[in-house]
Amino acid sequence: MKGLIPDQITKEVQYSCHLVVFTGAGVSAESGIPTFREAQTGLWERFDPEELASPAAFRRDPALVWGWYEWRRMQVQKARPNPAHLAIVELAQRVPKLTVITQNVDDLHERAGSAEVIHLHGSLHEPRCFACGRAYAGVVTDLKDQPSSERLEPPRCARCNGRVRPGVVWFGEYLPQQAMRSALDAARHCDCLLSIGTSGVVMPAARIPEVALENGAAVVHVNVQPVEVSGPGEYSLVGRAGELLPALLQQAFPTS
């Protein structure tokens, strides 16, 4: 593994006092969870977000939307954290402070062992009432193997009988305020940010690495595609997160 990561990047991580790890769908790709925008395999290449990922879509056809998100929740339930998720947990034990901010709606960071993950786009595992907002407690844990197109009538809220919706952020919705506030605060005060497996096109989440950079932090993009960098202090590491993160960990904090 030695030499995979340039020395300058290794040093940024090694001497970091507050490291932010900002993740997108690419960090879960090696666990078998599809990303959104990659040609052929991306979810938004195969499915229409207008039909599936907005309040209007849910109003129009709640069973279609609920069924699709239950299919995604089933995929996540079957998946396991990969070496990238695990390396992030290890990094947290080596630097004075580490904050995980994710755009992902899966729970693979938590299952790997990361604590206090900031979810900017909500979670597949926290459904709530579409009408009154109350958290829904009756989540099924042993989901059956269902195809992506199977319609499923959403459960009903115990308080108001409204339809239960997935706990994710849809197009046209605000991000959870407290999560965004905490994420911006971490981005402003960190000295190094790793931006892993994200296309960086969805606002306002995509601002997080920019805010870190504007505030003087080093920003390292880890992506299978090269990411354009704007100047000193910003780096692009090209490769799979499941290989580069363990290599970075080993080079910054060698165990043997």
List the catalytic residues.
121
Answer for which of 241, 248, 249, 252 binds ligand OAD (CB under 6 A) is 241
Least distance (Å) from ligand OAD to the CB of residue 158? 27
Element (H, E) at 98: strand 97-102
- Sketch the per residue contact string, 43 through 82, with ligand OAD: x for CB under 6 A, - otherwise: ----------------------------------------
The pair of three-digit structure tokens given for residue 228, joined into one six-digit string: 């354009």
| β-bridge mates for residue 188, sequence order | none
Considering the complex, state which of residue 45 and residue 116 has its C-beta at the smaller distance from ligand OAD. 45
Establish if 108 lies at the interface with ligand OAD (CB under 6 A): no
Nearest to 99 by CA among 157, 35, 14, 23: 23
Least distance (Å) from ligand OAD to the CB of residue 72? 10
Answer for which of 35, 75, 99, 114 binds ligand OAD (CB under 6 A) is 35
Least distance (Å) from ligand OAD to the CB of residue 205? 7
Using an 8 Å Cβ cutoff, are 254 and 227 in contact? no
Site for ligand OAD (CB under 6 A): how many residues? 24
Q: Reply yes or no: is the peptide bond before residue 55 cis, omega within 30 of 0.
A: no
Considering the complex, state which of residue 96 and residue 174 has its C-beta at the smaller distance from ligand OAD. 174
- Sketch the per residue contact string, 109 through 148, with ligand OAD: x for CB under 6 A, - otherwise: ------------x---------------------------
Establish if 29 lies at the interface with ligand OAD (CB under 6 A): yes
Which residues in the 197-236 window bind ligand OAD by CB under 6 A? 197-199, 202, 222-225
Using an 8 Å Cβ cutoff, are 152 and 166 in contact? no
Q: Which DSSP category does 7 fall into?
A: H
Per CB under 6 A, the segment of 7-15, 90-98, 192-200, 229-237 that binds ligand OAD is 192-200
Residue 205, Cβ neighbours under 10 Å: how many?
22
From the number of C-beta atoms within 10 Å of its C-beta (0-12, 13-18, 19+), residue 217 rates as buried
Using an 8 Å Cβ cutoff, are 192 and 220 in contact? yes
Answer for which of 16, 19, 30, 70 binds ligand OAD (CB under 6 A) is 30
In 5-68, where do the E strands start and end?
A: 18-23
Using an 8 Å Cβ cutoff, are 94 and 254 in contact? no
**3-state secondary structure at position 199:** coil
- Sketch the per residue contact string, 151 through 190, with ligand OAD: x for CB under 6 A, - otherwise: -----------------xx---------------------
Using an 8 Å Cβ cutoff, are 110 and 132 in contact? no
Enumerate binding residues for ligand OAD (CB under 6 A): 24-26, 29-30, 35-38, 42, 103, 121, 168-169, 197-199, 202, 222-225, 240-241
